[in-house]
């Protein structure tokens, strides 16, 4: 008897091949190229790059500084994130959704914008302090130009990350575990100390590792706060060397970026080790914990929370906006001196800024759209695929994002310094190399929400279409895409927001004509034009916040857990 023809296998093969090609191109190829440069520069095994790196005291100092600000930032972020998530999740304070939205906003704002905003708040030229008459005399250094400043801002930048992870964990904590402890006579602090925090160890450790990796790889904050004080960390050292030496020093900076990769990996491995030793897997599902009634302490607690928001978000943003309204360095801001010239300059006059708007919009929209369309089939394979290599697939996609952006940027440089073989196309020194790096780096931001969309989707919906005769592509188009599109698009928006003011990758890959908004802000600030940098940053912050609010308004239609700042 003859088996009837099978078209379905062909489509499945085509899909798998396409996804495989994307993974190879955007994840494996850059990483392999980087490793090759470190171990086998020029095709022969050599430890020369490593040896010269080991002998360089500047590298040692930068490595040490990286570890210091990495750990310091992690400690600040974890402390703040844990306290806030416990207060917001476990007590009966009001307006939690709004509070969360504001608390998470620093995570959505590019690090260099955060840095810039804080600088405006404190320095001698601070429009804010000058308006209050509190500014230090001109000529004194900004107190944020220091390791302490970097650590504080890294902490503020990544506290929301800890907050989000821990809050997700707290909401899964079965209420019975807490109620059993209460029935045993424990008061609120004892419950938190003996039940909640120990059970949350895996979440906290995981969040700490992620924060450490983010701090170690952060470029914007140490670039704005560290370079003026000559306090270098590895990402800024790479930037300086590359800016000074050009492609000739690629081999050397490849080693430095591998060093950052090693530091980041150490964080991840340590986290893995700790969470293996303390495996408190929560197996039951139940209602979330009853929130503690704060009684008369509710109002003071709410006031404290909003004070915190004022300090970490409102004040720096005020600093940013005030600076963007002054005519020049050190000019006190009052009704006579206020001006919108800076905005009209960056929006209409400055040609690089105009180009940067076009470039950044193009880059972030392309990266977002590409990621949405790729995330749907990849999420399909990750969630419902049966193949054994799926685990590796997930890992390979996470890698370019888990590793600091500097690493990927250097890998992209190495990969595309020479024209692409066979095709002969040169994308080095064009905007396309930035696009490549963005696609590689941000893909996972769309895949994560898409996968969580898939896991909330009933597979029988697809099987019903399969039974109705629909081929794989038909099912993807008519059933699966419409159902997971909201989740994938939320991911796309995250990518858009992140890529719009991205700096780390583009600072290393940009060239004249391919400036991004992040690069232009950085150039303004380095050239002493804080007012223009602030104006441009204020525009970006406004756009970001408007997008967040816009997405919020249709959050009812999204699957749970897709928007980071919504439950």
Partner 1 sequence: MAGLTIRNLSKTFGEFDALKDVSITVNPGEFLAVLGPSGCGKTTLLRMIAGFEHVTSGEIDIAGQVVSQPGKQVPPNERRIGIVFQNYALWPHMTVAENIGYSLRVAKVEAPEIKRRVDDALALVNLDGMGDRSPANLSGGQRQRVALARCLVAEPKLVLFDEPLANLDVHLRASMEDEFAAFHERTGTTIVYITHDQAEAMALADRIAVMDHGKLMQLDTPQTIYHRPANEMVASFISQGMVMPVTVTGAESDGYCDAMLLGQPIRLNCTPGDGPRDGAKICCRAEHVRIAQADSDGIDGHIKRVVYQGGTARIEFVPDADPETSILFDQPDPQPFTIGNRARIQLTGGWLIPAQSAD
Quick one: which of 183, 296, 335, 467 contacts partner 1 (CB under 8 A)?
A: 467
Contact between 446 and partner 1 (CB under 8 A)? no
CB of 275 closer than 8 Å to CB of 209: no
Residue placing its CB nearer to partner 1 in the complex, 98 or 478 = 478
Cβ count within 10 A of residue 432: 16
Contact between 458 and partner 1 (CB under 8 A)? yes
Contact between 1 and partner 1 (CB under 8 A)? yes
Quick one: which of 286, 387, 478, 526 contacts partner 1 (CB under 8 A)?
A: 478
What is the separation of C-alpha 348 from the centre of its chain, rounded to a whole number of angstroms? 30
- CA 466 to CA 471: how far, in whole Å? 7
Residue count at the site for partner 1 (CB under 8 A)?
A: 25
List b or e across 226-244, with b for residues whose CB sees 16 or more CB atoms inside 10 angstroms.
bbbbebbbbbbbbbbbbee
Residue placing its CB nearer to partner 1 in the complex, 43 or 469 = 469
Contact between 424 and partner 1 (CB under 8 A)? no
CB of 530 closer than 8 Å to CB of 329: yes
What residues contact residue 214 under an 8 Å CB cut-off, 6+ apart? Answer: 157, 158, 161
What is the separation of C-alpha 115 from the centre of its chain, rounded to a whole number of angstroms? 15
Contact between 7 and partner 1 (CB under 8 A)? yes
To the nearest whole angstrom, how small is the minimum distance from the Cβ of residue 475 to partner 1?
8
What residues contact residue 275 under an 8 Å CB cut-off, 6+ apart? Answer: 201, 202, 205, 206
Binding mask 9-48 toward partner 1 (x if CB under 8 A, else -) reads x---------------------------------------
Contact between 479 and partner 1 (CB under 8 A)? yes
Contact between 556 and partner 1 (CB under 8 A)? no
Strand, helix or coil at 292?
Answer: strand
Quick one: which of 466, 543, 547, 567 contacts partner 1 (CB under 8 A)?
A: 466
Quick one: which of 463, 526, 527, 549 contacts partner 1 (CB under 8 A)?
A: 463
Quick one: which of 35, 470, 543, 547 contacts partner 1 (CB under 8 A)?
A: 470
Query: Which one of 88-96, 155-163, 357-365, 462-470 is the stretch in contact with partner 1 (CB under 8 A)?
Result: 462-470
Contact between 557 and partner 1 (CB under 8 A)? no
Contact between 468 and partner 1 (CB under 8 A)? yes
Strand, helix or coil at 91?
Answer: strand
What residues contact residue 293 under an 8 Å CB cut-off, 6+ apart? Answer: 91, 92
To the nearest whole angstrom, how small is the minimum distance from the Cβ of residue 488 to partner 1?
14
CA 180 vs CA 85, 174, 312: distances in Å: 22, 11, 37
Quick one: which of 381, 483, 490, 517 contacts partner 1 (CB under 8 A)?
A: 483
- CA 557 to CA 481: how far, in whole Å? 15
**Residues lying near partner 1 in the complex (CB under 8 A):** 1, 3-9, 458, 460-461, 463-471, 474, 478-479, 482-483
């Amino acid at each position: 008897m003859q088996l009837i023809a099978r078209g379905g296998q062909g489509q499945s093969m085509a899909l798998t091949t396409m996804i495989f090609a994307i993974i190879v191109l955007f994840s494996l190829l850059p990483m392999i190229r980087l490793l090759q440069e470190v171990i086998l520069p020029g095709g022969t095994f050599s430890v020369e790059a490593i040896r010269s790196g080991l002998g360089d005291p500047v590298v040692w100092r930068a490595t040490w500084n990286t570890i210091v600000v990495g750990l310091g930032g992690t400690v600040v972020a974890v402390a703040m994130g844990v306290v806030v998530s416990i207060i917001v999740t476990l007590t009966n304070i009001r307006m939690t959704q709004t509070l969360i939205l504001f608390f998470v906003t620093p995570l959505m704002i590019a690090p260099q914008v955060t840095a810039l905003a804080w600088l405006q708040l404190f320095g001698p030229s601070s429009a804010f302090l000058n308006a209050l008459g509190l500014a230090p005399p001109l000529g004194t250094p900004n107190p944020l130009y220091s390791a302490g400043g970097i650590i504080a801002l890294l902490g503020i930048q990544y506290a929301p990350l800890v907050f989000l992870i821990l809050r997700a964990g707290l909401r899964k904590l079965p209420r019975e575990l807490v109620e059993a402890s209460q029935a045993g006579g424990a008061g609120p602090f004892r419950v938190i100390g003996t039940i909640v925090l120990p059970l949350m160890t895996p979440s906290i450790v995981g969040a700490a590792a992620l924060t450490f990796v983010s701090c170690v790889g952060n470029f914007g904050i140490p670039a704005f706060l560290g370079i003026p004080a000559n306090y270098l960390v590895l990402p800024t050292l790479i930037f300086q060397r590359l800016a000074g030496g050009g492609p000739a020093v690629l081999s050397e900076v490849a080693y430095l970026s591998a060093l950052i990769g090693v530091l980041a990996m150490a964080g991840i491995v340590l986290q893995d080790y700790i969470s293996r030793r303390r495996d408190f897997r929560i197996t039951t599902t139940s209602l979330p914990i009853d929130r503690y009634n704060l009684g008369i302490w509710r109002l003071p607690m709410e006031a404290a929370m909003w004070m915190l928001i004022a300090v970490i978000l409102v004040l720096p943003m005020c600093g940013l906006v005030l600076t963007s309204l002054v005519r020049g360095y050190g000019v006190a801001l009052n009704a006579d001196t206020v001006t919108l010239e800076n905005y009209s300059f960056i929006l209409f006059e400055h040609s690089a800024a105009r180009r940067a708007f076009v470039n950044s919009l193009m880059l972030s929209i392309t990266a977002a759209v590409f990621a949405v369309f790729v995330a749907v089939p990849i999420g399909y394979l990750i969630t419902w695929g049966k193949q054994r290599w799926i685990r590796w697939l997930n890992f390979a996609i996470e890698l370019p994002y888990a590793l600091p952006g500097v690493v990927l940027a250097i890998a992209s440089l190495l990969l595309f310094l020479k024209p692409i073989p066979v095709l002969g196309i040169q994308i080095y020194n064009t905007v396309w190399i930035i696009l490549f790096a963005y696609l590689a780096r941000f893909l996972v931001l769309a895949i994560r929400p898409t996968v969580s969309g898939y896991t909330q989707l009933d597979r029988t919906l697809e099987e019903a279409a399969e039974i109705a005769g629909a081929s794989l592509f038909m099912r993807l188009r008519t059933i699966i895409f419409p159902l997971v599109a909201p989740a994938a698009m939320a991911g796309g928006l995250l990518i858009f927001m992140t890529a719009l003011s991205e700096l780390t990758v583009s600072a290393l890959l940009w060239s004249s004509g391919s400036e991004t908004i992040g690069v232009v802000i950085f150039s303004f600030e380095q050239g002493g034009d804080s007012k223009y940098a602030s104006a441009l940053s204020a525009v970006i912050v406004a756009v970001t916040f408007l997008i967040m609010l816009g997405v919020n308004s249709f959050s009812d239609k999204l699957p749970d857990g897709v928007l980071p700042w919504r439950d």
